[in-house]
Amino acid sequence: MLIEVRLDPATVQLWQSHLIARVAAMPGILVRVVAAPGTARAPRGLARLLELERLISGARPGGASESVAFETLKPFATAPGRPDLILDLTDAPAATVPLLRLVCDGLPFTQGAADAVLASRDPVFETLLDEGTGATVLSRWHPAVEVPHHAAAALDMLAGRAGDMLAVEIGRLAVGRSAALGPAETPAHKGGSASAFFLRALETRIAGRLARLLGRAPDWHVALRPRRGDGLPALGPEGFRRLADDGRRFYADPFLFAQGGDTFLFVEEYPYATGRGIISLSRLADDGTPSRPVPILEGPDHLSYPFVFEAEGAIWMIPETSARRTVELYRADPFPDHWTLTATLIEGVDLADATLLRRDDGWWLFAAERARWASSWDTLVLWRADRLQGPWRPHPANPVLVDLTAARPGGRILEIGGRLVRPAQDCAGGYGARLAFAAIEQLGEAGFRQQVLARAKPFGRNSGLHSYDRTDRFEVIDLFGPR
């Protein structure tokens, strides 16, 4: 398969160069790069805004939007023949088909991404394929931006996700036509102002700095209550009791485990003095009163999300160890205070919030993956194994979902009314802003599909809610808000 990549030689960026190399490395694909000058202009004031950010924050070498000389792509300019597919990375209209391109909010990617960042809007990406009868949408992603008040970093994150999306779609086209989602649409969005963006960003930074200086910066905390009902969780302030902290740490990512009439609460504990998460344990009294958490697992890197479960006659934990790019399996030895590393299930991949599900066809692992330049807030990947200890293999369609409103795991998968329902983080408006509860409708080698049934918002003065778990007797959440 020969793919012709069209680039504006005056505006080549690092993410485009990496995308070309990534596609060229795919089995059975040849790449030819040709110059195709574009016509789009950057939004007014964007270049000045980016230069001002560089003066304030310093340069960001190696960012996805960094300029690259077109001459460095000459090794890809010689493949002969008629292309099977044209990948258009310019903003110029092109009539040649078959043509694959990426749009952001219905606009050429560069223009749409800049408009979305300046307007502080969560954008929508679509891959479009035009085979001569009009463009159809092959895929739709809803990417996240972790630093919405820094334009250069936000643009880098969107560019990184754009490269991932195009690489995934080309891989699918190389082995067979992807199912189209429908005809392309042109949503109406207004672009933002560079000066207004700068003022909003400055106000946000000043407010955050003052809150930290005054000791009023919000943070995560855990809250428990007796369980209410068997259906979808109805989360509100009624009955929840906060897990107290001493102001020198926060608690998050709670998981409950019941054994022999006792209930145990596992949490991420984050001491501000070390800046590194550890796993701690609290015991619940009969009325749900938690004891003060005590550390039970520490490491050289940050630990969080202590997913605790029972299988094969033992109790296990998979804490998040994404800082060392591993997924590690620990066995209680004995439960609940001592844990022994039994196996490293996955290596060399940055996976967050690994959540396991046992089914008749084996084990499934749900996680959020952080790819280069992109966020982990918006991504769901699947891994599968016949045995708990592995070997584990990635799903061929990874990432199976890119949607900042319902992708990243937010707790143990529940069985509700005969359906498997997964809590997922809704990061629209910020990390862990809300929880989504999504029913798993398809899970297999052929693909993954889910349907969001409900969403839960933080209550009171809190602005975040991103984890949920329950036992027969209790349920637990974590919230982001003032102390």
139 and 92 belong to one structural domain: yes
99-108, 262-271, 303-312: range with lowest mean pLDDT: 99-108
Domain-ending residue, one of 166, 187, 211 = 211
Per-state percent for the chain, helix, strand, coil, to nearest 5: 20, 40, 40
| Residue 450 tokens, joined | 């889910």
386 and 247 belong to one structural domain: yes
184 and 256 belong to one structural domain: no
Range of the domain at 476: 218-481
Which position has the token pair 């929508």? 124
195 and 228 belong to one structural domain: no
207 and 228 belong to one structural domain: no
β-sheet bridge partners, residue 125: 104, 141
**Among 246, 254, 260, 241, residue whose Cα is nearest residue 282:** 254
- Over residues 398-409, mean pLDDT: 97
CA 78 to chain centre: 37
pLDDT in tens, 405-428: 999 999 999 999 999 999 999 999
Residue 162 has a pLDDT of 97
Residue 216 has a pLDDT of 61
**Looking at the 3D structure of the chain, how many domains does it have?**
2
Residue 192 has a pLDDT of 80
Assess contact for 466 and 435: CB atoms under 8 A: yes
Which range, 46-50, 53-57, 132-136, 254-258, has the best average confidence (pLDDT)?
A: 254-258
Give the Cα separation of 372 and 222 in Å (integer). 31
175 band by pLDDT with thresholds 50, 70 and 90: confident
* Share above pLDDT 90 across residues of the chain, in percent, rounded to a whole number: 78
pLDDT in tens, 360-381: 889 999 999 999 999 999 999 9
Which position has the token pair 């280069």? 372
Residue 449 has a pLDDT of 96
Give the Cα separation of 53 and 376 in Å (integer). 24
| Residue 273 tokens, joined | 């003095």
Assess contact for 377 and 425: CB atoms under 8 A: yes
161 and 190 belong to one structural domain: yes
Residue 338 has a pLDDT of 96
Residue 461 has a pLDDT of 93
- Residue 186 in this model has a pLDDT that exceeds 70: no
Give the Cα separation of 115 and 219 in Å (integer). 31
- Residue 434 in this model has a pLDDT that exceeds 70: yes
pLDDT in tens, 331-370: 999 999 999 999 999 999 999 999 999 998 899 999 999 9
227 and 196 belong to one structural domain: no
Give the Cα separation of 431 and 121 in Å (integer). 15
340 and 391 belong to one structural domain: yes
- Residue 5 in this model has a pLDDT that exceeds 90: yes
Residue 177 has a pLDDT of 66
432 and 342 belong to one structural domain: yes
13-27, 178-192, 258-272, 454-468: range with lowest mean pLDDT: 178-192
Task: Centre a 10 Å sphere on the Cβ of residue 38 and count the other Cβ atoms it contains.
Answer: 20
Give the Cα separation of 255 and 476 in Å (integer). 7
Q: Which residue has the higher pLDDT, 447 or 209?
A: 447
Residue 162: CB partners within 8 Å, gap ≥ 6? 15, 102, 104, 109, 113, 125
331 and 313 belong to one structural domain: yes
Residue 41 has a pLDDT of 74
**Among 88, 95, 65, 63, residue whose Cα is nearest residue 169:** 88
CATH code (residue 88): 3.40.50
169 and 226 belong to one structural domain: no
Domain-ending residue, one of 211, 226, 246 = 211
Mean pLDDT of the chain: 92
**The pairing of beta strand 219-226 with beta strand 241-242:** antiparallel
Assess contact for 165 and 177: CB atoms under 8 A: no
pLDDT in tens, 11-52: 999 999 999 999 999 999 999 999 998 877 778 888 898 888
- Specify the length of the chain in residues: 483
363 and 431 belong to one structural domain: yes
- Residue 255 in this model has a pLDDT that exceeds 90: yes
pLDDT in tens, 293-327: 999 999 999 999 999 999 999 999 999 999 999 99
- Over residues 437-461, mean pLDDT: 96
* CA dist 278 → 247, 291, 296, 299, 319 (Å): 16, 17, 8, 7, 9
Task: Centre a 10 Å sphere on the Cβ of residue 61 and count the other Cβ atoms it contains.
Answer: 6
Domain-ending residue, one of 196, 211, 226 = 211
Assess contact for 321 and 304: CB atoms under 8 A: no
- Over residues 83-98, mean pLDDT: 85
